[in-house]
Amino acid sequence: MTTETASPPALSPNAGRLAGATALITGASRGIGRAIAEAFAREGADLFLSATARANLADIEAHVAAAGRRVAGAAADVADEASVEALFAATVEAFGGIDIVVNNAGIYTGKPFTEYTADEFDRVMRVNAYGTFHVMQLALRHMQGRGRGKIVNIASTAGKWESPNQAAYNASKHAVVALTRCAALENAAAGIRVNAICPGFVETDMIGEFEGHAARAGMEFDAFKAAMAARIPTGRLLQPEEIAHIAVYLASPESDGMTGQTISISGGMRMG
């Protein structure tokens, strides 16, 4: 039986829940990734942040630095393997070791199944599925060498259930769930924990991509969004911070007993 834990160094009683930890977060410029960066910084983690353009990170980097955390960043396209390798190397160089990796970068394309071009399908798979795979592979090798680590993947309710007019996104998020479970199983004894969060509708720029769905339904976007909220038992879309709370838990020692889990947060839209 291994005595290793997945956690970063022990916390002092008054420290944040991630004190002493270093984390790499992809897609940290806005939306859910930015909220996770803010929450991790509040809990005492040092952060390496990434997005497709470095300029997009300026605001969140300044915010994290103002909280007294060490922060660095780099542009990387997670769909590009060489770009991911450079990102990972830069993170290791900046911090020496990586305790937590959050695979959050993602894109959305919605349209009826029969209307997707192969290129559109490919791009969504490249960013959401291959991107997560590339980062996870490097993270797992790094963490195996240290005997500990936490990987948090941002999947979606679309990764666990069917949904109309988003076959490519749905397929990519089902892949993220499968990658989470397989990596968790293979790496549990090595002290590494791999879990996913499956959000429903979260109020971010990505929801703007639903304008096509609204047009298809012959509705104004605001009316379409109101109809979306009405389908949610809690009556509202989620806020990015609500996803970040779960990410903190999955990154912290509090969740050391969990791996391979896919935690849904959807205002009750999906249960189970």
Q: Which residues contact 157 (CB under 8 A, 6 or more apart)?
A: 163, 198, 199, 200, 264, 266, 269, 270
- Residue given tokens 């915010």 in the structure block: 63
Residues annotated catalytic, as ranges:
169
166 bridge partner residues: 111
223: amino acid identity, one letter: A
Among 88, 95, 133, 201, binds ligand NAP (CB under 6 A): 201
- Minimum CB separation of residue 42 from ligand NAP in Å reads 18
Burial pattern 180-196, b for ≥16 Cβ within 10 A else e, equals: bbebbeebeebbbbbbb
**Is residue 25 within the footprint of ligand NAP (CB under 6 A)?**
no
Among 24, 72, 94, 202, binds ligand NAP (CB under 6 A): 202
Q: How many residues bind ligand NAP (CB under 6 A)?
A: 30
Among 29, 91, 255, 259, binds ligand NAP (CB under 6 A): 29
Among 6, 21, 32, 101, binds ligand NAP (CB under 6 A): 32
CA distance 97 to 37: 18
Among 7, 16, 24, 27, binds ligand NAP (CB under 6 A): 27
CA distance 72 to 3: 32
- Minimum CB separation of residue 222 from ligand NAP in Å reads 17
User: Given the rule CB under 6 A, which of 4-12, 41-49, 180-188, 194-202 is the region that contacts ligand NAP?
Assistant: 194-202
**Is residue 109 within the footprint of ligand NAP (CB under 6 A)?**
no
Q: How is residue 66 written in tokens? A: 């103002």
Q: How is residue 38 written in tokens? A: 């803010």
Residues 44 to 83 in contact with ligand NAP, rule: CB under 6 A: 51-53, 56, 76-79
**Is residue 152 within the footprint of ligand NAP (CB under 6 A)?**
no
**Is residue 24 within the footprint of ligand NAP (CB under 6 A)?**
no
Burial of 6 (0-12, 13-18, 19+ CB in 10 A): buried
266: helix, strand or coil: coil
| Closer by beta carbon to ligand NAP, 106 or else 110 | 106
Among 105, 168, 179, 248, binds ligand NAP (CB under 6 A): 105
- Minimum CB separation of residue 252 from ligand NAP in Å reads 20
Beta strands in the chain (DSSP E): 22-26, 46-51, 71-75, 100-103, 149-154, 192-199, 262-265
User: Given the rule CB under 6 A, which of 104-112, 137-145, 217-225, 246-254 is the region that contacts ligand NAP?
Assistant: 104-112
**Is residue 179 within the footprint of ligand NAP (CB under 6 A)?**
no
220: helix, strand or coil: coil
Q: Which spans of this chain sit near ligand NAP (rule: CB under 6 A)?
A: 26-33, 51-53, 56, 76-79, 104-107, 127, 154, 156, 199, 201-202, 204-207
